[in-house]
Structure 1
Amino acid sequence: MDINSDDGVLRLTFDRPEALNALTMETANELADAIEDAATDEYDAIVITGAGDAFSAGGDLESLAKTPDSSRKSYERVTETFGRVVEAMLECPVPIVAKVNGDAIGAGLSIVALSDLAFATADATFSCAFVRVGLIPDTGGTFMLPHVVGLRAAKRLAFTGEFFDADRAADLELINEAVPADELDDRVAETVERIASGPTATIGMMKRAMHENMSRPWDEALDYENLLQAQARTSAAHEEGVTAFLEDREPEFE
């Protein structure tokens, strides 16, 4: 995985174009490590993309086939690799944007679903392809996909493993938008710039509240929302936002 940063943006690129960026356990750990280490005082956004013509073809079946495991060992391997990716992406306070430069299959699709925002080139193809190899969706697929596209749509995608285009991905809200390939970089850059100009720590609180409140009863969710709002009200970002409003200018968040 290629990892670099500039101007407060952490850029993570799956870098196995010859294998359509199929994900090995090593790649999963590199991705998890990078996201776990990201903090709002260092980064304003994270962009995940792929090298070459694909975002990711999913798990590397060839490498997985070389390491046959017992059920217990398989559980441990998945938990310590792709499971780490899910936890890192859901808990990361820095907003994550998927720049889907090509096909997103299997675990690649799951990573798109886990991202906070996603933009895809119009000629990208998607598939929750696990069923095609006798597996259930992993990398958070059984959890996040129904939340993103709805339960019935998620069941259809998972049960059939059908392939679909970027326009349908946008209709399902798996991605925010499908754009021409030559406009993808600019569209993502514009979005990242907009996010980066905002109060990153506050956006992290929004993400945390939304994720944690998905499984809470409404009264507990409301209480947690009120708790985080109380914290936000005492923040420097809120003070700057109010001051900018009263002075009729754009806020300048740190």
Structure 2
Amino acid sequence: MAFGFCLSVILLLSVWTTAKCDNIPNGVLHMECRDRYFMIAFLFYTGNEPSFEAVDETGVYPITKQYAAKCGYSVAVFPTSEHVELRASYFSCHTDNKEDEVFTFNFNLIVTHKGKEVTYALNKTCSPSLPWSPREVTCEINYMEVNGVPVEVVHATLFSRQSWVLVMVDLVAACSMHKGSHDNRGHIMWETPEVLHPLVSGHNQMQVNIGVNGELVEQPVAEKRGYIVKQHNSTVEISIPYEAEGGYRKVRRQGYFSLHMF
């Protein structure tokens, strides 16, 4: 096992003159691909806790506590068993993502050896064993991840004074950031979550109406034009034929719509 590890990282370590593979004995370092994250476990001596850096083509990023929560990493130190564990989401900031199927991680492990700081370059490629659900929530130690349709949320608070009473009203607007796709049936498709914000109770019924070019389209008219709205696994799917009224064609088999939801 020790020889196999040295062989896998020797090319990356060649650029670090202070890093030597034989400083990490067999069993001290463990890397594992799990269902929804990549894990690195490293044994250390008390008082000599290691640190990590995420690496991509844009640079090197120290994984601090605040940065970890922001970018989909979690670092846990276990003093009793003298090991530290790094978990990295498949959608963490500096992970190379190929079609949501192949994920490549690159990290620097920084330890202090004989009073000197030593850096080891670690890399691993993972493919999840379980397929992604259309709407999936992953809860980690210091962050919650929703994988599904990306949305942009604007949250503002309105303050007003009525006599001696101060009234605060929360205003929330959310928009789907899904760029759209097309199928082999000649349809343009968009997706948006059924519930756009946690403040909206999941028990409330939601009605979706389509507007084209900023104008609401009545349901009978939408059906006549071939507009299709359906719900699937808490996601609203909108499908519009290329030749439908309200859009225009720029090139062959490529339609464009200015779509609005009400």
Larger RCO (CA within 8 A; separation ≥ 6): 1
Give the TM-score normalised by the residue count of structure 1: 0.18
Give the TM-score normalised by the residue count of structure 2: 0.18
Give 1 or 2: higher helix fraction: 1
Give 1 or 2: higher strand fraction: 2
Q: Which has the larger radius of gyration?
A: 2
